[in-house]
Amino acid sequence: MQHSVRMRYLSNTADQRAEMLETIGVSDAEAFLERIPAKARLGRDLTVPPALAESELVAHVRALAESNAHAADYACFLGGGAYDHYVPSVINHLLLRSEFFTAYTPYQPEASQGTLRSIYEYQTMICELTGMDVTNASIYDGGSALAEAALMAHAVTEREQIVVSRAVSPLARQVVAAYCAGPRLPIKTVPWADGATDLDALQKAVSDKTAAVMIQYPNFFGCLEDLDAAAAVAHERGALFVVAVDPIALAVLRPPGEAGADIVVGEGQGLGNHLAFGGPYLGLFSCRKELVRRMPGRLVGATVDRDGQRGFVLTLQTREQHIRREKATSNICTNVALVALAATVYLALMGKEGLRKVAALSTAKAHYAAEALGRVPGVSRRFGAPFFKEFALRLPKSPDRVLRALRKRKVLGGIALGQFDRSLRDCLLVAVTETRTRAEIDAYAEALAGVVG
């Protein structure tokens, strides 16, 4: 009954399989399937296309890849939570060391010191950027990290209401809503005014039923929020202050830890990882040391071995699903180790000086672009709040049409905001990283003038 398939990922030959059956004492491998009810047996081949040889597969997949408008062919000004920062070539070479990428979760620490040490370094670096005491080994992405923060705040404060600014990414807010549905945590959103959270409205929204106050820094529109004021509103009422960050921005911006954040989450994709059409990304999660035992996700800690040598292990594991089960801090079982490794190598390469330069170049070019594009007749900056590397423009013509025309000039001009907020349907969200050249920005301005003129 066995298909005799000869395939490069299957080592055993028909002869070897016959030997193994003999050792087992069975004449037909069908015997192993005897517990499966006969009427549940598939009884036919899977309706899946026949196997492709490697060269055929490459040709097929390449065609799928090449038909997309990607950042190697187009000047990419898209942001909204994913950014085209430069990825140094070293990263790929180190990630492809198979001891890193074919390794398992480090439950046997003696055989996993490479992974464990790099995670400890990652935890340290993110603490430095966020100004927080503890960082976990990573969660899936920024959106799910924010959602986990809401659940954690609920568990810690034993309160139910989650207050979140509408200047937080609408996509991340949808993830928060999905996670809060099970425990039925009511979510109250707070409007923005001129690109930043309306602090009066925030004050009115927070009560002693509030578990968490959540804002984003820089926010979805790229604008800077008043962290101190928001922290005060949260803490006055005993709620936790949660900030969602862009780690690159934190190279020059004030770390939320200094403003009194209780939990800091964020999207780490920009740290040495490609856009990859949305994933896998990197959920940053840090908190104050008093809250460490309520934090979801894995943690790596330093210790010693029998000989007194330094070593690293997964620690505080009893909080996690495989032990605590239904009372676990979360159900999370993987972290995004490889993505976090890329971020760690990136931060090591950039270093103290380089990351500041990436941030400085990004904000410098973004400000230059805001001016250049804002000078196009009929185009204006939508918000007055200070911004970091992203800004919203008001256009005299439909953003979707403008974007299509720009694409013909090999420019991915930005995100049409109407899909997220009807009141902004005449607006475009433009992001600029250190990889955009002045020439590209000038060409964009010129193309835009041509399109709206």
Q: Which whole-number Å values give the CA distances from 200 to 171, 205, 319, 422, in the listed order?
A: 24, 9, 38, 23
Of 262 and 434, which has the nearer Cβ to other proteins? 434
Q: Which stretch binds other proteins (CB under 8 A): 7-15, 159-167, 187-195, 373-381?
A: 7-15
Q: Which is nearer to other proteins, 204 or 310 (CB)?
A: 310
Q: Decide if residue 84 touches other proteins (CB under 8 A).
A: yes
Question: 260 vs 229, 347, 381, CA distance in Å?
Answer: 10, 25, 31
Q: Are 51 and 412 in contact (CB under 8 A)?
A: no
Q: How many residues bind other proteins (CB under 8 A)?
A: 213
Q: Are 370 and 391 in contact (CB under 8 A)?
A: yes
Task: Examine residue 388 and tell whether it contacts other proteins (CB under 8 A).
Answer: yes
- The single residue among 27, 111, 236, 375 that binds other proteins, judged by CB under 8 A, is 111
**Is residue 347 at the binding interface for other proteins, with CB under 8 A as the rule?**
yes
Q: Restricting to residues 278-337, which ones interact with other proteins according to CB under 8 A?
A: 278-281, 292-293, 298-313, 315-328, 330-337
**CB proximity list for 361: less than 8 A, separation 6 or greater:** 433, 434
Quick check: 218 and 248 in contact, CB under 8 A? Answer: no
Among 75, 76, 162, 411, binds other proteins (CB under 8 A): 76
| 156 near other proteins, rule: CB under 8 A | no
> How big is the chain, counted in residues?
453
Min. distance of Cβ 111 from other proteins in angstroms?
Answer: 4
Which helix (H) or strand (E) is 445 found in, with range? Answer: helix 438-452
Question: Quick check: 390 binds other proteins (CB under 8 A)?
Answer: no
Q: Does the protein bind other proteins through residue 29 (CB under 8 A)?
A: yes
DSSP state of 308: S
Instruction: Return d(Cα 230, Cα 176) in angstroms, integer.
Output: 19
113 binds other proteins (CB under 8 A): yes
Rule CB under 8 A: is residue 413 a binding residue for other proteins? no
Q: Which residue has the tokens 């159900």?
A: 331
Stretch of 61-69, 157-165, 208-216, 376-384 contacting other proteins, by CB under 8 A: 61-69
Instruction: Among 14, 28, 59, 61, indicate the residue that binds other proteins (CB under 8 A).
Output: 61
3-state DSSP of 366-428: HHHHHHHHHCCCCCEECCCCCECCEEEEECCCCHHHHHHHHHHCCEECCEEHHHCCHHHCCEE
Minimum distance, C-beta of residue 89 to other proteins, in the bound complex (Å): 10
**Span 414-433, contacts to other proteins by CB under 8 A:** 415
Which residues within the stretch 163-222 sit at the binding site for other proteins (CB under 8 A)?
A: 169, 171-172, 174-175, 177-179, 181-184
**Six-digit token pair at 173?**
């807010």
Answer yes or no whether residue 245 interacts with other proteins by CB under 8 A. no
